Amino acid sequence: MTKITYRKAEKHEAGLVLEFIKDLAVYEKLAHEVVATKADIEDSLFGENPKAFCVFADKDGETVGFALCFYNYSTFQGKPGIYLEDLYVRSEHRGHGIGKGFFKYLAQRAVAENCGRIQWWVIDWNEPSIKFYEALGAKPMNEWITYRLEGDAIKNLAEKE
């Protein structure tokens, strides 16, 4: 039986992180939205003040999946949480427990770091992932509406008097 190992990404792998981001974007039909560069990844994940972290899954010496996360905070719990920004397993390696292994890795990290929750979004048409998450015991947060400010909207707001 093949063993899957999970490990933290290292700075010299910033290009591989970006490759997985682009692969995920293609899968989600959002490739046109990727503007991140290798330098952006190096700075935000491995720079002086990292804003996120990445975990890789390796199978037989090949990196086959990634999870990219950052910390958030629950004022109600008074604890940090882990926000799972991206999770992607290459198609030919799906169905072998790699995704579940990522969640176990993150759950162990959350317990060790006294985090109150792990949160993420899933695109509404991704029924296989939704079923997978629910099988893990995750619950949809349907009562919340997601909002976003980005690009010019942020700049315009910042400049208002």
Q: Which residues are catalytic?
A: 133
Q: Are strands 62-74 and 79-89 parallel, antiparallel or unpaired?
A: antiparallel
At 10, is the secondary structure helix, strand, or coil?
coil
Query: How many other CB atoms sit within 10 Å of the CB of residue 92?
Result: 8
**Nearby residues of 98 by Cβ (< 8 Å), 6 or more positions away:** 4, 57, 59, 64, 65, 89
